Structure 1
């Protein structure tokens, strides 16, 4: 694509980037099952993390884009946060707040908690490094989903472990 095409069609490179991200992330989020309304807070957190990892395994390039953008304080990060991250997190924050208030989840700053959930997705999508750690050369989608499920269980079990609320 030429600069002329992008400018004629979208007005700017930034608008083109937003259009591509909207198309990709909008489709990805529709594949993420929302937490069951009125469900047990532990189940809500478990389902949220499991779905987050499952969806990112299906679209690894989007996860890599997001992880890359998280390291830059730019308009792109603002756009991603306001349009996608904040509304997605709003699905699980009330459950997390109730779990921490009741002592069923570790009391840590919200940024630490979310990095504990979000950062591990890198281990699911960064294939070249994962292969060096023993991942098969060409895992099947079923194997990728099994890894996503195992990672979700590990992360959530750690957050909800007995005595987690006492750790600081």
Structure 2
């Protein structure tokens, strides 16, 4: 299996783990908040949708620019060769604030956001058909918190980010009233 397909399959596996978990919840459970300042399951799922949607679009833009011969990134690759876990450990606070573009803002039923998140696999697969393994480390897409990361690291981030929010959902589930 080539590297692009492997990375996409890792994102798919993370997405499936997340969706399998949230689809077990009732609407009331998905909407439950332990306090006003904590995201519920719907908030987490909506956030994942917006964050991944933006990341996929950003990767497409970077790929298109490179194919048109345009400069993509100028500057030092400060995270060259690092895993996404190492990058996050270096650049994130323990509780980050989501950029406004990726923040939950619409609410609504968990079924809608679960279906929306699942639909992003189509966009990701289409990107994978366009992308070549040799472009994974040469194309740079800036992350709003971590800075310049290559496309391999961006795919790793998608997987990492979904799993991070799965952990938050599991924590919510463990505290839900019976």
Q: Higher RCO, 1 or 2 (CA under 8 Å, sep at least 6)?
A: 2
Give the structure with the larger strand fraction: 2
Give the structure with the larger helix fraction: 1
Task: Name the larger-Rg structure.
Answer: 1
TM-score by length of 2: 0.30
